[in-house]
Amino acid sequence: MAQSPHTVRWGILATGFIAQSESTTTRLLTQWHAAAATTVFVRDLLCNPATRDVTDVAHKVVAVASSRSKESAAGFLDKVNLAPEGVKLYGSYDELVNDPDVDCVYVATPHSHHFQNAMLALQAGKNVLCEKAFTVTASQAKKLAAAAKEKNVFLMEAVWTRYFPLSIKIRELVKSGAIGTVYRVIADNSVGSDGPDGSLTFADEHRMVNVDLAGGALLDLGIYSLTWLFQILYHLQPEAEKETPQTLAAIQQYKTGADESTSVIVSFPGHKTQGIALTSLRVATNTDGKNSGGPAIKIQGTLGEIQVMGPAYRPTQYKIVKKDGDGQVEVVDCPIPVDRERRFGMGMFWEADEVARCLRDGKKESATLPLSESIVIMEVMEEALKQGSVKYPDVITTDVFDPKSPLNTGAR
């Protein structure tokens, strides 16, 4: 007899402040910046797992909290077409993390808030999936990892791309030696948002460029470029050989003080490998929206290279170019399944499935993105931002937990 799936009861922390009623994947993709992470994540949670051939785990949204008001949480249910029956609504994060019916809290606030909000949930004994970038500083990331250990709960950074079947396949290919020894990875995740008179198209208050919300290209977009570098050059190394990388960065600042264009070279001297992570809010990886400019990611080995077509955060195609391939290129498509009934499917469901399996199996972190790796990536980003003289306010860089911090209470 088939076993019933392990179902995770999710509590959603933050409701996304941009009104949004579009319901199809296509419309959402063209307006990605207007898509709050919470909205996309919850819609993915509500997709039938069978539409992606998953039968061992399932998801249920049991509570939603907005730091603004209970009404805002109610409005969120409308946005995601989720019937209010059985979903508890809270006007504070504190109530959500103390709800005994919540198995795992999904933290989807701006980067500035992650440390305080995730810690609030961990201290209440909750498992946590926290949006990227994990924190603002490496020290905050270490404190979260330590708290999860102390409380014996699960913690993971929500870098959804790592859990795509495409990413898994590419990691397997590299591991199998399909392109020889990999010496270099080049990855770009840039979204052209150039506006009039030297401005960007984001308002100065927007989380993408607002230093009070730890905005900037690197923490928001460059993390995906670094993800590609790390999942190949670092993650695949045997545990005992993992080395802390050297970091060299060049940064252009926007008028708000956030980074608008950032290039980071990450070097692993022991393995003689290098990664180049690029990100920009001025120019785009995919300037014509048709990938005419070529791949967003190149994984280069002694026997060939794997090219991944962008966007780096949601790739659906890769190519294998062999040194002795005589001009033949293998093209592999990895479409993201859509739940036709709900008219949705973005790809965040795979990271949610990973959380469910870890919880089912009693694991406290994901082997695909261990906390130690999230911490090393935070160290690289912190160092890069330091080299580019980007400064964030003390209230968002402190590693001292304060349940009454405005970041937890929502005082704006």
Ligand X SMILES: O=C1OC[C@@H](O)[C@H](O)[C@H]1O
Ligand Y SMILES: NC(=O)C1=CN([C@@H]2O[C@H](COP(=O)(O)OP(=O)(O)OC[C@H]3O[C@@H](n4cnc5c(N)ncnc54)[C@H](OP(=O)(O)O)[C@@H]3O)[C@@H](O)[C@H]2O)C=CC1
- Chain residues that interact with ligand X, rule: CB under 6 A: 32-33, 191, 220, 313
CB of 190 to ligand X, least distance (A): 10
User: Which residues, 6 or more positions from 200, have their beta carbon under 8 angstroms from its beta carbon?
Assistant: 193, 194, 208, 209, 254, 260, 281, 282
In the set 8, 10, 14, 157, which binds ligand Y (CB under 6 A)? 14
215 binds ligand Y (CB under 6 A): no
Q: How far apart are CA 176 and CA 131, in angstroms?
A: 31
Q: Which is nearer to ligand Y, 274 or 368 (CB)?
A: 368
Q: Is 189 in the site for ligand Y (CB under 6 A)?
A: no
Long-range contacts of 49-55 (CB under 8 A, 24+ apart): 49/5, 49/349, 49/353, 51/337, 51/338, 51/339, 51/340, 51/345, 52/337, 52/345, 52/349, 52/350, 53/337, 54/349, 54/353, 55/2, 55/5
> Least distance (Å) from ligand X to the CB of residue 220?
5
Residue 412 DSSP symbol: -
Q: Compute the distance between CA of residue 167 and CA of residue 314 in angstroms, rounded to an integer.
A: 10
Is 37 near ligand Y (CB under 6 A)? yes
258 binds ligand Y (CB under 6 A): no
CA angle 188/191/197 to nearest 5° reads 130
Q: Are 181 and 268 in contact (CB under 8 A)?
A: no
Q: For residue 344, give the nearest of 17, 7, 19, 23 by alpha carbon.
A: 23
- Copy the structure tokens of residue 303: 């026997």
- Minimum separation from the CB atom of position 314 to ligand X (A): 7
Segment near ligand Y (CB under 6 A); pick from 31-39, 121-129, 287-295, 372-380: 31-39
Smallest gap from Cβ 131 to ligand X, in A, equals 8
Query: Applying CB under 6 A, does 183 fall inside the site for ligand Y?
Result: no
- State the binding string over 78-117 for ligand Y (x if CB under 6 A, else -): ------------------------------xxxx-x----
> Quick one: what does residue 109 bind among ligand Y, ligand X, none, with the CB cut-off 5 to 8 Å set by partner type?
ligand Y
Which of residues 44, 94, 103, 131 is near ligand Y by CB under 6 A?
A: 131
Q: Which of 353, 348, 283 is nearest to 29 (CA)?
A: 348
Q: How far apart are CA 131 and CA 164, in angstroms?
A: 16
Residue 191 or residue 320: which is nearer to ligand X going by CB?
A: 191
Nearest to ligand Y of 136, 358 (CB atom): 136
The site partner of 63 among ligand Y, ligand X, none (C-beta below 5 to 8 Å per kind) is: none
Count CB-CB contacts under 10 A for residue 73. Answer: 25
Q: How far apart are the first and last CA of the chain?
A: 53
- What is the rounded distance in angstroms from the CA atom of residue 357 to the CA atom of residue 366? 9
SS3 content of the chain, % helix, strand, coil (to 5): 35, 20, 45
Q: How far is CA 346 from the centre of its chain?
A: 13
Residue 72, binding choice from ligand X, ligand Y, none, Cβ under 5 to 8 Å by partner class = ligand Y
Report the nearest approach of ligand X to the CB of residue 95 (Å). Answer: 26
Min dist. Cβ of residue 403 to ligand Y (A) = 15
**Six-digit token pair at 87?**
């979903």
Say which entry of ligand Y, ligand X, none residue 16 contacts (CB below 5 to 8 A, set by partner kind). ligand Y
Q: Determine if 345 is a binding residue for ligand Y (CB under 6 A).
A: no
Distances (CA, A) of 98 to 105, 115, 179, 244, 314: 10, 18, 49, 37, 33
The pattern of x and - marking residues 45 through 84 that bind ligand Y according to CB under 6 A reads ---------------------xxx---x------------
Q: From ligand X, ligand Y, none, which one binds at residue 68 (CB under 5 to 8 Å depending on kind)?
A: ligand Y
Q: Which is nearer to ligand Y, 71 or 241 (CB)?
A: 71
**Chain residues that interact with ligand Y, rule: CB under 6 A:** 14-18, 36-38, 66-68, 72, 108-111, 113, 131-132, 158, 160, 207, 213, 220, 313, 410, 412
